[in-house]
Chains A and B, each alone.
Chain A
Amino acid sequence: MCPQTVRNEAPSDDKRWKIINATMRRNGDDSHALIETLHSVQETFGYLDDVALSYVAKSLRTPLSRVYGVATFYHFFTLKPQGEHSCVVCTGTACHIKGAQALLSAIKGSFGVAPGETTADNKLSVISARCIGSCGLAPAVVIDGNVMGNLSPQTLVARVEREIG
């Protein structure tokens, strides 16, 4: 019988920490599981805050500096909470030459947010992506997880307005 690993107490009694614990356990509670665990935290809570990073560091017996290093090295992880709706504008090569910049300018013009920013009312986060692999539909945008292609600045703005109500 393997001795049961003594688990650190979760930062709060939020049930969602069980999901994070399960991810760590599945990967042997080892520092190798760091990226998988951060994915799990972000998927569950939407972003990585200090509390979560410290908890993960302690649980995986990994220096906090390394956890922070990994969380900031990879573009996919965000340390800031995101808005209710997300608009990911692809800036891959195909989208670039077919007008992704015009889409970003239109968003900036209509909603006042640039990539990496969230509107003051917390409704909309705008993100620019390297390439979402929908090059056949360039320029493409992902609004709340739904990919949309062949967009003009006008249709995109109209679409976002409809989404955020």
Chain B
Amino acid sequence: MPSDELVALKTKAEQRNRANRICVCTAASCQSVGADRVHKAFEAEVNKSQREEQVEVRAVGCMGLCSAGPLVRIENDETAVLYRNVTEQDASALAQSIGRAPVERLICPTDVPFFTRQHKIVLANCGQIHPERIEDYVAVGGYEALYRAITEMTPGEVLADVKASGLRGRGGAGYPTGLKWQTVAKSPDPVKYVVCNADEGDPGAFMDRSVLESDPHRVLEGMAIAAYAVGANLGYVYVRAEYPLAISRLRLAIRQAKAANLLGQNVAGTRFEFSVDIRLGAGAFVCGEETALLLSIEGRRGQPRPRPPYPAERGLFGRATLINNVETYANIATIVDRGGASYASIGTERSKGTKVFALAGQVKNTGLIEVPMGISLREIVEDMGGGVPAGGRIKAVQTGGPSGGCIPNEHLDMPVDYDSLQQVGSIMGSGGMIVMDESSNMVEVARYFMEFSMSESCGKCVPCRVGTYQMHQILSRMLSGCAGPGDLSMLEELTRAVGETSLCGLGQSAPNPIKSTLRYYRSEYEEALRKSRPSMPLAEEGVR
């Protein structure tokens, strides 16, 4: 028996439904190349031809292929045609093509690997629904999993499903989600919190941003189900202040869900209560670390503290706290909907389900993709990404941002899963994937990441604060040709010391970019040393 709330919203969506839809991608990337103007042009066009009854102009979220933006999809219930690089001038021709032959010159083929190799769960609604309309989300089955969970399932059953799914944390570390939930559920603490980590700080990663901008209700539903499973009544989304569109859409989504009685007291007429509030980050990478993030929610400086106690035992305001990443929560509704076992059938032995990646750098097709775990890196960057634009050779693929490493071309055939990536010296990370061609100097790449970690180090523990600075100094000396003969061994010594003795994940993983480039591109370091004359002055780094 569906709830009255959901039925009412579905009816609302149906009333708005038209035979034809012009879906314009209005995610941040397409917006920056003029999607808003394109959207307005289509509205004017439909208005002018007085076809509002037959054609809906819908602003949707990310369609994925950012490099071909603005993207527009013209669809009816049978067919859909995707158009690329659409301008305002094209609106008239495209609007008139409805019911006739499509406009060939603008067609973006969708039978190519970029689209066909994807398996969409988290991104299922991205680019389909209007992110600012809750009824659109409900019309495609949204909030049904939540309703089913709180009316037909016990918290234990929800937990069992999540455990059976094999889902692992999508923030990067890959801790089994079910285990984390279980720890919080078992805690006798009378007050518990559910926190969503949307502090996507890795440079080169924009998955969480796209999900929040394109399908915010999916994240809220996941959080609400989590709250039911662990026994929490209050949740926070900690989101970067640098993502204004994501923030405003999330705010709107929370208001709509409250108004529709899907958040707040007596959710959908049951005794379950769950409210969500937003907390803004303020530009500190270290706040992606969970203990730092919780302190930041409390209005303090985000400086990590030693664990244990883990947040699951003592977290926000000293209470038991469940903290997961955006993408992790975005998987939950589907897991409850289809059952844990069905989700576990996707992926590899130890990495289940799908993963969203932000593909960028020296690659033809940049954008957002969701692929089943176990796909090979080469398939992603060469088949889906289309390789290096001018036909060059891929030198390396960087995953995991400043905490990850560079994977050289000869290892691209390995499957993408948590364990394989770790074996080759990188990490899954939150999903940034940067392709580099032969023009990249790996010592320079290492320095870039070290500069990042150095200035983002919170300063609390010495190995990270001092070590990242010293490593950065050595790399700078190598690049400006004034390194000494002992510098390489000192660098290796430091990578070990900082990695093993730092307090939190930031410091522990900061040496990874150096470690992985030393492992695969040692000759570039040696080359830099050979060219070095200790008498050379330390060159100024480029303006920053």
Contacts and interface: CB of A to CB of B under 8 A. Distances in A.
A53 B247 CA distance: 25
A93 B279 contact: no
Contacts of A52: none
B282 A94 contact: no
A6 to B, nearest CB: 21
Contact of A133 (B200, B296, B367): B200
A81 B66 CA distance: 35
Contacts of B69: 136
Contacts of B448: 93, 96
Contacts, number: 151
20 contacts: A38-B282, A70-B300, A74-B283, A76-B281, A93-B203, A93-B360, A93-B361, A94-B203, A94-B360, A97-B362, A101-B543, A115-B543, A115-B544, A129-B242, A130-B203, A130-B283, A133-B200, A135-B360, A136-B360, A138-B360
A68 to B, nearest CB: 11
A51 to B, nearest CB: 20
Interface of B: 28-29, 31-33, 66-67, 69, 200-206, 209, 241-243, 279-285, 296-302, 358, 360-362, 366-368, 398, 401, 432, 434, 436, 440, 445, 448-449, 452, 456, 458, 542-544
Nearest to A34: B299
Contact of A73 (B31, B242, B302, B432): B302
Contact of B205 (A33, A36, A91, A131): A131
Nearest to A74: B282
B401 A128 contact: no
A76 B241 contact: yes
Nearest to A102: B542
Contacts of B28: 133-134, 147
Interface residues of A, number: 46
A104 interface: yes
Contact of B436 (A77, A97, A114): A97
A149 B67 CA distance: 10
Nearest to B542: A101
A138 B543 contact: no
A149 B203 contact: no
Given A105-B543, A149-B32, A35 B280 contact: yes
Counting from the closest, the 10 A-B pairs by CB-CB distance are A136-B66, A92-B203, A74-B282, A76-B283, A147-B32, A135-B360, A34-B299, A133-B206, A75-B283, A93-B204
B66 A137 contact: yes
Contacts of B401: 93
Contacts of B296: 35
B452 A130 contact: yes
Nearest to A60: B299
A97 B203 CA distance: 12
Nearest to B207: A133
Nearest to B439: A97
Given A74-B282, A91-B203, A148 B543 contact: no
Given A33-B299, A98-B362, A134-B29, 19 more contacts: A32-B297, A35-B279, A35-B282, A69-B301, A70-B300, A74-B282, A91-B203, A92-B204, A93-B449, A97-B436, A130-B283, A131-B201, A135-B360, A136-B367, A137-B66, A137-B366, A149-B29, A149-B32, A149-B33
Contacts of B358: 135-136
Interface in A136-154: 136-138, 140, 146-149
Contact of A32 (B280, B299, B367, B398): B299
A133 B204 CA distance: 7
Contacts of B458: 73
Contacts of B366: 94, 135-138
